[in-house]
Amino acid sequence: MLAMDETPIKKENLMLEENTKRLLRWCEMIHAPVWFFEELKLPKHVYQMKIRPTIKGQKVSMPAWRVHDVNPHPKGSYPYKGGLRFHPAVTQELLQVLARDMTYKCAWVHIPFGGAKGGVPVDPSECTEAELRDITEQFTVELANNNCLHAHKDVPGPDMGVNEKVMYWMLNKAGDIDTGSPPYQALTGKPVEHGGLPGREEATARGGLDALEKYLAITQMFSQKPTLAIQGFGNVGENLARLAYSEEYGYTVVAVSDKNSGLYAENGLDIPAVRAWFSQNRTLAGYSQATVISNEDLLLLPVDVLAPAALENQITKENASRIQAKLVVELANEAVTPAAYDILADRGIPALPGIVMNPGGVVGSFLEWSRNLGAMAHNVQIEQIYEATKRELRAIMQAPIAKLCERSRADGRSLDDTAHVIVFELLCEKLQKRHGYKR
């Protein structure tokens, strides 16, 4: 009988506790042996580091982490993979949850990586460029010192608060360190001219739209292109709005938001105009061609598709009963809490979970990593590679959707439970082979 440790959990560990309860639930659904639960419950490595950047002219001590979750693949064949996050809310417990999600996402799209996540609790918007570069370079050294920067062991990439400029700084600094492999092979999300992949920056958003397109084609939920509300206007949210609005996808985007403000237009926003305003002002606040709403209001709009693409814990047990969207698609990691998933399921509102909707980033990173292990691309190949990336991304993201729909109907389970059951069955088989466990 599987069981969780009953030791009281501190308040700051509540998210990890709830996530672990969910993990136990999915293990029980596949009648997993105890060893499998124990394998997934604990990460393989947690590297806690300390960096000392200069902030406002003073040296400060700042924690940093890299978490390796589970790697079901042969040692040295395929690395751990996961982004680096610069955000004030970064904690070890959050990174453990996000590293788990990476393990699940990689398994969902059959990308041969183990899950990882890393980060520093810092707000990049409050740092000067020199301060942010100092943080980045010191973090790079610590990652290398802990063997977390190697093409076949651990390949970091960008996550929230980290862009290709930061990844370039890491690439440049890694050149001063003997990591055992060429730096450009040990990092993804790099600028295209330095070994990056054309289309990598938009891959999470594009992959999410591709998965959504396949789901809608199978289910025929809507007779016409649905309306879409997007919470978040960072890398994922802004690219999601841009692509969804484009002729390629053709959605009516009725609402968007950032951390300061939200915008709503019943007949659809002019996304190019919104993006131009945001580019100039770095905030959506003040844009006058739409109704101003809050982030909380956006989540409760009567739209066809709701896409939380900002922070975790946005749709919760407090607001899930008031969601009016006909379909929820989780583009941000852990944006929908476990309790909220159950409430949405009880209300008959399908919710495509993050492991289905947002692996596009790791798919893009896999394509970049694979290419970097071979020949570097020349500039004249960039457009050709971009088109190939879009085709490969779409094929990989859409491939599991039919099975998801079929299993969900056959088993009478929610999309969230079904996706994780499929992943857990696969992980159990792979870990059994790797470690010699008995089923």
pLDDT tens-place string over residues 103-114:
999 999 999 999
What is the mean predicted confidence (pLDDT) over 115-128? 97
User: The CATH number of 203-352 is which of 3.40.50.720, 3.30.420.40, 3.30.70.100, 3.90.550.10?
Assistant: 3.40.50.720
Give the three-class secondary structure for 332. coil
pLDDT in tens, 75-113: 878 999 999 999 999 999 999 999 999 999 999 999 999
* CB 190 within 8 Å of CB 164: yes
**CA gap 300, 280 in Å, rounded:** 29
Pinpoint the alpha helices (H) of 68-174: 92-108, 129-145, 164-174
Share of the chain above pLDDT 70, in %: 96
pTM: 0.94
* Distance set, CA 267 to CA 3, 270, 307, 338 (Å): 51, 10, 18, 33
User: One fold for both 44-194 and 203-352?
Assistant: yes
pLDDT attached to residue 8: 47
Is position 75 annotated as part of the catalytic site? no
* CB 179 within 8 Å of CB 186: yes
Break the chain into its structural domains and give their ranges: 44-194, 203-352
pLDDT attached to residue 75: 80
pLDDT attached to residue 5: 53
How does 123-157 read in b/e, with b if 16+ C-beta sit within 10 Å? ebeebeeebbbbbbbbbbbbbbeeebbbbbbbbbb
Backbone Cα Rg of the chain:
21
pLDDT in tens, 288-318: 999 999 999 999 999 999 999 999 999 999 9
Provide the pLDDT confidence category of residue 71 given band limits of 50, 70 and 90.
very high
- Mean pLDDT across the chain: 94
What is the mean predicted confidence (pLDDT) over 149-176? 96
* Secondary-structure breakdown of the chain: helix, strand, coil percentages, each rounded to the nearest 5: 45, 15, 40
What is the mean predicted confidence (pLDDT) over 382-398? 94
pLDDT attached to residue 2: 60
The domain made up of 44-194 is a member of CATH 1.20.1600.10: no
- DSSP sequence for 339-379: HHHHHHHHTT--EE-HHHHSTHHHHHHHHHHHHHHSPPPPG
Catalytic residue among 105, 117, 190, 390: 117
